[in-house]
A and B are shown apart, each in its own frame.
Chain A
Amino acid sequence: MNNLSSFIGSLSIIKPEIAIAISLVVVLIFDLIFKEKKTIIPYIGIAGLVVTFFLLIAQFGQTHAGFFTSPEAKIGMFALDPFSTFLKLIIVITSIIVIIMSISSDEIKSVTQRSGEYYTLMFGMILGMMFLTSATDFLLIYVSVELMSLSSYVLAGFLKQQKRPAESSLKYVIYGSVSSGIMLFGISLIYGLYGTTNLEAIASAGNIQGFNYITMAVASILVFVGIGYKISAVPFHFWTPDVYEGAPLPITAYLSVASKAAGFAFLVRVIQLGFATGSDSHGFWEMISGVDWRTFIILIAILTMSVGNLVALWQDNLKRLLAYSSIAHAGYLIAALAAFSNESILAILVYFVFYMLMNLGAFYTVMVVRNKIGSEDINDYDGLGRTSPLLGVVFGIFLFSLAGVPPFAGFIGKLYIFVALVDAKLIALAVIGLLNATLSVYYYMRIMKHMYFNKPNEMTPSIDAPVLDKTMLIILAVPTLLFGIFFQTIVHLAQQSVHLLGL
């Protein structure tokens, strides 16, 4: 088997990625040819995503390696496994919802002429994210991260006529390039230690004798800077609130869900595939010695959720508030990983499904209100629950779910995280996590307070959302409620997806 046939043989496992690439090209061409019918572009995008969705479904459950580093080796750069397929499905569904959001967003409508550009960039981002979830080689990881980041820099500043988006985009670029530079440095150190950039090869090399642990620790932390930036873990989160506030709402929603999902895939894969050498009899991973990953992860988790929640308490802009809340949610997810077992992965996957529903729902509601009143200030929500009952109820469902109160889906997500932690006997971390969850209730309830307890003033509009928005909100709200009561389907699916290539 020569290199070329090995390459061609591997193509079949990236069918969904190919579909995304084709959609990207189609969107681009359509944009060039049909100058007058820009409004059709998003629908082409959705069609491409639906095709990808079915290709992913067809792949579900399969495990293959692909794009081998050498024809003899069985070690590849790309892993098709249930774990990545699950997260790719989340990314694709999120993309569909975000495209629908973009269709009805006033901010995006104001730049319809450039919508070809917008959707092309979005597909670039999707492509980057999908490769990132499957990448098992630092080279591919780095390229995917860059593809995804570059697209998102532009998207974040897409409303370039305004000052805020321009500022936020610039911040994003600077932070982004610094952190990916640092990550690249870490990767080169790892290459220096192991002579390979492949995660599987690193894991199988394992604990080399005469190993310089300090170099290893430094390299790992440098790599984590890159990951931490993507999942907005404290202290690499500084860009998040500004970018989330400045970016158009659909993009903010997108960054908070899809890009985070890809970031977590990256984190899990690096830790589980690259730095775990096996698992003990209870199913807990044994890590490469020398780097105390667990303590590190625990510290980051505590910092991330506490900072996210504490700062969110003082926010009056809902976009900013949701940005900090998404930092806090990343904290819970990192905490789940600290258990270092398959339960961690299960918890992360389950959480992401629910997080996708409720977080997109919350952003969607904020967008619908913004379309009407042009503001995201919490004081403009006074009495909105009474003047617009549907909006109030669905927003309530999303917020209660984000707060993790039963019987909403968010509670089940948190439950699985704390189950993983208690099983790993990380009780102190579980207590801190739960205290954080209680703290977060305050700011979610603050929104409810404005919507229901404060009297409507003359400025309060009665929002009768367009049918499309109404439908989408209900489509997001109903499962948020139902999965809180009947969650076994999701958990069952996630549980079939915890398998990563490698271990």
Chain B
Amino acid sequence: MSFPILTLITFVPVVGMVAILFLKKGQDNAVRYTALTATAIQLVLAIIMLFAFDFTKAGILDASTFQFVEKARWITIPNVSWIGTIKIDYFVGVDGLSILMVFLSAFVSFIATLSSWNIKKMVKGYFMLFLLLDAAMMGVFVSLDFFLFYVFWEIMLLPMYFLIGIWGGPRKEYAAIKFFIYTLFGSIFILLTMIALYFSATETVNGIQLHTFNLIELTKASAYSATGILSPQNPNNWRMIAYIFLFIGFAIKIPMFPFHTWLPDAHVEAPTPISVILAGVLLKMGTYGILRISYPIFPEITRELAWYIGLFGVINIIYGALVALAQKDFKKLIAYSSISHMGYVLLGMATLSVTGITGAIFQMFNHGTITAMLFLIVGVIYDRAHTRGIYEFGGLANKMPVYTGIVTIAFFAAIGLPGLSGFISESLVFLGGFGSTVTRTLTIVGLLGILLGAAYMLWTLQRIYFGKFNEKWSFMEDLTPREYLMFVPLAIVVIYLGVQPGLAIDFMNTSVKTFVHFLNTAAF
């Protein structure tokens, strides 16, 4: 076995957490630097993986073309008389679908650690939970065993609950419990589907047929026994029901209309770094889950329901944008813009075309970096002014020119201005959408989102940063060096990928081609 880079990248934060546990009370800076070191190591490992990544290997359906694979038996319970041996693997690996998400998650976590510097309350507890969250997120993106995936998926809830509930805003308790219950509600549907899949499919290990949680084996029609509840030969509708269950579970995380109501609350109450993580990484887990699990395991149902997925995508785009237009709270506005932008991802996924799905994955990455910037931007104002009312500001550009420059880049990227990364992914989504007969009409309606997006973004820019300066805020200073450190790398990525998108797209090209071919042809 080669160097266990994925285990390292997942568990480095846990090591950091344990290290923090042993630090004495009051050593707040030591705690901060430990957390920063852990996330920095994670980022370095992610970059190493980017360089070591082999573009020609597809992954997706073939375990041998996954990269950095590690597989070990986690749980074995031999000879259960009526089921056979029960086994669960520790099985991790990346392919074109996940490599960008792994990098995104490391990158955003590092930035969020920097942004957590001015957390003053219970520093030790905060960073321990933060690192646990980080580890769980990474675990979700690298797991190739459904059980492992589910465990990481759920572990994430615990730190998030406390991070919002202890360090959040005035209605933090409500927001925390709402987030927790909502997501757990989604997870139970995932859990049920997981159990049903387990009983329906088998994998041959050393010549013995065993039930399996292996996500790659589950994509093979031959893995299903004819009598299994989710067997393709089964004439009833269980597969459809399972797909919808799974979809609801993931849709809550995206969050897809009408399951989105937890998001504005969670965002508004969460502290800035947690909002950054939430919007930057957590939301992507929903769409990633659909791509990694729902799509390849149920390709025939995906084809059948693609239009509906696209429809919900378009509803998200339009609805999110319209609600964003009406917001008076800056952070809530950004939260709704997230809902709108995740709609593009859904629309792209619904096209089932190479262009569309490439666009969707790229949009996931870009939305991660762009919203991270947007939430940090809100954080900068809130740190200084302790308010986020859009109408309370005005003319901040005079007082904070560099900051306003960054804001402009982020806003334009969110609108999808050519030359910035958001443009590329959104156009890929729309190109794919037009190309597919299924989603053509939807795409035309979805384009309206661009217009609305420009409207609320530019209007906000005008209200907060331009116009007459409100003297009340004359004490506000421009960016500090630490804030530069947060914004500059994000801005570089956003601009660079806008000019040179191939850099990111190359990673997923082979995978997406195989994936789309499979989705459109797989006979189940």
Residues of A within 8 A of B (CB): 282-283, 341-343, 346, 386, 400, 405-407, 411, 415, 418-419, 422-423, 425, 427, 430-431, 434-435, 437-438, 441-442, 445-446, 448-449, 452-453, 486-488, 491-492, 495
Known: A431-B192, A449-B165, A495-B80. A400 touches B158 (CB 8 A): yes
Please give 16 more A-B residue pairs, beta carbons under 8 A apart, in addition to A441-B181, A492-B77: A386-B122, A405-B157, A406-B150, A407-B151, A407-B155, A415-B191, A418-B192, A418-B195, A422-B196, A435-B185, A438-B181, A438-B184, A442-B181, A449-B173, A488-B77, A492-B78
Candidates B78, B155, B172; contact of A406 at CB < 8 Å = B155
Q: Is A438 a contact partner of B76 (Cβ separation < 8 A)?
A: no
Candidates B78, B151, B191, B199; contact of A423 at CB < 8 Å = B199
Chain B 79-114 interface mask (CB, 8 Å, partner A; 1/0): 011110010000000000000000000000000000
Residues of A within 8 A of B75 (CB): 486-488
Residues of A within 8 A of B155 (CB): 406-407
Chain B 48-88 interface mask (CB, 8 Å, partner A; 1/0): 00000000000000000000000000011110111100100
Q: What total count of A-B pairs have CB within 8 Å? A: 89
Residues of B within 8 A of A488 (CB): 75-77
Known: A406-B151, A434-B188, A438-B185. A452 touches B166 (CB 8 A): yes
Q: Is A452 a contact partner of B77 (Cβ separation < 8 A)?
A: no
Report Cα–Cα, A491/B166, bound state, in Å.
Answer: 37
- List the B residue with the shortest CB-CB distance to A490: B77
Candidates A341, A423, A438, A495; contact of B77 at CB < 8 Å = A495
B161 in the interface, Cβ–Cβ < 8 Å? yes
Nearest 9 A/B pairs, CB to CB: A434-B188, A283-B82, A406-B154, A422-B195, A406-B151, A453-B165, A488-B75, A491-B77, A438-B185
Residues of B within 8 A of A405 (CB): 154, 157-158, 184
Report Cα–Cα, A85/B364, bound state, in Å.
Answer: 54
Report Cα–Cα, A346/B79, bound state, in Å.
Answer: 13
Known: A386-B122, A434-B188. A342 touches B199 (CB 8 A): no
B382 in the interface, Cβ–Cβ < 8 Å? no
Q: Is A445 a contact partner of B180 (Cβ separation < 8 A)?
A: yes
Q: Is B77 a contact partner of A282 (Cβ separation < 8 A)?
A: no
Residues of A within 8 A of B157 (CB): 405
B229 in the interface, Cβ–Cβ < 8 Å? yes
Residues of B within 8 A of A (CB): 75-78, 80-83, 86, 122, 150-151, 154-155, 157-158, 161-162, 165-166, 172-173, 176-177, 180-181, 184-185, 188-189, 191-192, 195-196, 198-199, 229
Report Cα–Cα, A445/B165, bound state, in Å.
Answer: 11
> In angstroms, how far is the closest chain B Cβ from the Cβ of A440?
10
Report Cα–Cα, A367/B469, bound state, in Å.
Answer: 60
Q: Is B229 a contact partner of A425 (Cβ separation < 8 A)?
A: yes
> In angstroms, how far is the closest chain B Cβ from the Cβ of A27?
40
Report Cα–Cα, A476/B284, bound state, in Å.
Answer: 37
Q: Is A445 a contact partner of B192 (Cβ separation < 8 A)?
A: no
Q: Is A449 a contact partner of B177 (Cβ separation < 8 A)?
A: yes
Q: Is B188 a contact partner of A435 (Cβ separation < 8 A)?
A: yes
Q: Is A434 a contact partner of B229 (Cβ separation < 8 A)?
A: no
> In angstroms, how far is the closest chain B Cβ from the Cβ of A173?
40
Q: Among the interface residues B78, B82, B157, B177, which one has the most CB atoms of the partner chain A within 10 A?
A: B82
25 contacts between A and B (CB under 8 A): A282-B82, A342-B81, A343-B82, A406-B150, A418-B192, A419-B198, A419-B199, A422-B199, A422-B229, A423-B83, A427-B196, A434-B191, A434-B192, A435-B185, A441-B180, A441-B184, A442-B181, A448-B161, A449-B165, A449-B177, A452-B166, A453-B166, A488-B76, A491-B86, A495-B77
Report Cα–Cα, A282/B199, bound state, in Å.
Answer: 13
Residues of A within 8 A of B180 (CB): 441, 445
- List the A residue with the shortest CB-CB distance to B88: A488
Known: A342-B82, A488-B76. A453 touches B192 (CB 8 A): no
Report Cα–Cα, A110/B76, bound state, in Å.
Answer: 49
Q: Is A445 a contact partner of B82 (Cβ separation < 8 A)?
A: no
Report Cα–Cα, A405/B155, bound state, in Å.
Answer: 8
> In angstroms, how far is the closest chain A Cβ from the Cβ of B156?
10
> In angstroms, how far is the closest chain B Cβ from the Cβ of A93?
22
> In angstroms, how far is the closest chain B Cβ from the Cβ of A276?
15
Candidates A343, A425, A452; contact of B165 at CB < 8 Å = A452
Residues of B within 8 A of A487 (CB): 75
Residues of A within 8 A of B191 (CB): 415, 418, 434
Q: Is B151 a contact partner of A419 (Cβ separation < 8 A)?
A: no
> In angstroms, how far is the closest chain B Cβ from the Cβ of A379?
14
Report Cα–Cα, A449/B174, bound state, in Å.
Answer: 10
- List the A residue with the shortest CB-CB distance to B245: A431
Report Cα–Cα, A275/B191, bound state, in Å.
Answer: 32
> In angstroms, how far is the closest chain A Cβ from the Cβ of B40?
26
Residues of B within 8 A of A442 (CB): 177, 181
Residues of B within 8 A of A419 (CB): 195, 198-199
Candidates A283, A425, A427, A437; contact of B188 at CB < 8 Å = A437
Report Cα–Cα, A411/B188, bound state, in Å.
Answer: 11
Report Cα–Cα, A492/B195, bound state, in Å.
Answer: 19
> In angstroms, how far is the closest chain A Cβ from the Cβ of B17?
13
Residues of A within 8 A of B83 (CB): 343, 423
- List the A residue with the shortest CB-CB distance to B227: A282
> In angstroms, how far is the closest chain B Cβ from the Cβ of A350?
10
- List the A residue with the shortest CB-CB distance to B162: A452
> In angstroms, how far is the closest chain B Cβ from the Cβ of A438?
5
Report Cα–Cα, A488/B76, bound state, in Å.
Answer: 6
Residues of B within 8 A of A283 (CB): 81-82
> In angstroms, how far is the closest chain B Cβ from the Cβ of A468?
24
- List the B residue with the shortest CB-CB distance to A495: B80
Report Cα–Cα, A342/B199, bound state, in Å.
Answer: 16
Report Cα–Cα, A98/B63, bound state, in Å.
Answer: 51
Residues of B within 8 A of A434 (CB): 188-189, 191-192
Residues of B within 8 A of A495 (CB): 77, 80
Q: Is B188 a contact partner of A438 (Cβ separation < 8 A)?
A: yes
Q: Is B192 a contact partner of A430 (Cβ separation < 8 A)?
A: yes
Residues of B within 8 A of A452 (CB): 162, 165-166
Residues of B within 8 A of A425 (CB): 229
> In angstroms, how far is the closest chain B Cβ from the Cβ of A136?
22
Q: Is A453 a contact partner of B151 (Cβ separation < 8 A)?
A: no
Report Cα–Cα, A405/B180, bound state, in Å.
Answer: 11
- List the B residue with the shortest CB-CB distance to A414: B191
Report Cα–Cα, A386/B80, bound state, in Å.
Answer: 45
Residues of B within 8 A of A492 (CB): 77-78
> In angstroms, how far is the closest chain A Cβ from the Cβ of B75?
5
> In angstroms, how far is the closest chain B Cβ from the Cβ of A10?
29
- List the B residue with the shortest CB-CB distance to A281: B82
Known: A422-B196, A452-B166, A492-B77. A341 touches B173 (CB 8 A): no
Residues of A within 8 A of B150 (CB): 406
> In angstroms, how far is the closest chain B Cβ from the Cβ of A457?
16
> In angstroms, how far is the closest chain A Cβ from the Cβ of B253?
15
Report Cα–Cα, A419/B211, bound state, in Å.
Answer: 12
Candidates A342, A407, A422, A445; contact of B177 at CB < 8 Å = A445
Report Cα–Cα, A449/B162, bound state, in Å.
Answer: 9
- List the A residue with the shortest CB-CB distance to B151: A406
Report Cα–Cα, A487/B86, bound state, in Å.
Answer: 12
Residues of B within 8 A of A435 (CB): 185, 188
Report Cα–Cα, A341/B81, bound state, in Å.
Answer: 12
- List the B residue with the shortest CB-CB distance to A341: B82
Q: Is B172 a contact partner of A453 (Cβ separation < 8 A)?
A: yes
> In angstroms, how far is the closest chain B Cβ from the Cβ of A306?
15
Residues of A within 8 A of B199 (CB): 419, 422-423
Q: Is A445 a contact partner of B80 (Cβ separation < 8 A)?
A: no
